[in-house]
Structure 1
Amino acid sequence: MIYAHIDDARNYSGLGEVFAWAVRQLARADLKELSPGTTELIPGKAWFSIDEPETKPLERTLFEAHREFVDVQMTIAGDELIGCAPLGRVTPLGEYDEDRDIQFFKGEGLTLDCTGGMFAVFFPEDAHRPCVAPGTPRRIRKIVAKIHRSLIPHRELS
């Protein structure tokens, strides 16, 4: 997982060109004007979407994780908390849905505030709990970039 301010995204240039593209989308000046929907870079492999979900109380949200895609998330308008936890520390609720690349979990974790230019990157080993209301549930506006894991360079630790 990565949690950083958009101004510091250059520190993660080692994650490749597609990750750099995703971060450029998060930094766009026109994010508040873009219509909700999806824009693809590589069909089926890399895209971003503008979404306007309703936040929920913590107890009404679940952790989720993806096996094939990395999520890059940032709240554009409104307030949202996103929970996160290592996948090994949460308990599965049902089976993995291969068609939607998602599995849900219950458990405890940290809470991140992804407003004010803060963004989070969730890799397949990271469970995340989006759309948590920090107070009264409200509609928010957010951007989520999805990057297939094969497009993120991997380096072995020596």
Structure 2
Amino acid sequence: MIIDAVANLQHYTKLFPNIPEAIEAMNSIQQQEFSKKYFFEGGYFFFQEGATKPIEEAQFEAHRKYVDLQIVLKGEEYIAWNKIDDLDEVIPYDDEKDVQKFSGKNAHKMKMSEGMAYICFPWDGHKAVFHVDQPLHFKKAVIKLALNEK
């Protein structure tokens, strides 16, 4: 997992050359629809907004076809990370949804706020949109960057 400021995302274009296209496409949306997928060359993105849930109600997940680039646009959320090897599968991988769900220890937690971004790789069990003490409000973009299958 990579955690950084949105302003630094240009430093990751050697890993993901389509980040600029994703950001440009995201920034070009005048009216954000929260139930819509927006496509760009090499992936897609969607917007989420709402209140965080208690940490106990969140599950770890991992993906195989896409890398998650999540950008906090407003507000805050907590995220947790753990190696998928240290987690227990609770829902097997769904190829159509590109997601596998896990349970396990919340060993590493961090508060993410406006202007921050994080990138989750296939080996990263990640848990998002939760709170530790009090509910938080957030608005974010979830960008799915296609992985090259070689």
TM-score normalized with structure 2 length? 0.84
1:150 deviates by 1.2
Letter in 1 for 2:63: H
Residue 105 of structure 1: aligned partner = 102
SS at match of 2:51: coil
d(CA) in 1 for partners of 2:23 and 2:15? Answer: 11
Distance 1:31 1:77, change over 3 A: farther
Identity %: 26
1:35 deviates by 3.1
d(CA) in 2 for partners of 1:113 and 1:22? Answer: 24
Residue 21 of structure 2: aligned partner = 21
1:98 deviates by 1.5
TM-score normalized with structure 1 length? 0.81
| 1:75-112 deviation digits (Å, cap 9, x = unpaired) | 22222011111211211113111111111111123123
Letter in 1 for 2:81: C
Matches within 5 A, 1:5-84: 5-24=5-24, 28=27, 34-36=32-34, 37-42=36-41, 46-84=43-81
- Greater shift in the superposed pair: 132-141 or 105-114: 132-141
Q: Check the 8 A contact 2:87/2:103 in 1, yes or no.
A: yes
d(CA) in 1 for partners of 2:86 and 2:29? Answer: 34
More strand by share: 2
RMSD between aligned alpha carbons? 2.4
2:121 aligns with one of 123, 131, 145: 123
Segments of 4+ moved more than 3 angstroms: 23-26, 30-33
1:96 aligns with one of 85, 93, 100: 93
- Greater shift in the superposed pair: 83-92 or 45-54: 45-54
SS at match of 1:150: coil
d(CA) in 1 for partners of 2:20 and 2:38? Answer: 15
Q: Check the 8 A contact 1:9/1:23 in 2, yes or no.
A: no
Distance 1:18 1:67, change over 3 A: same
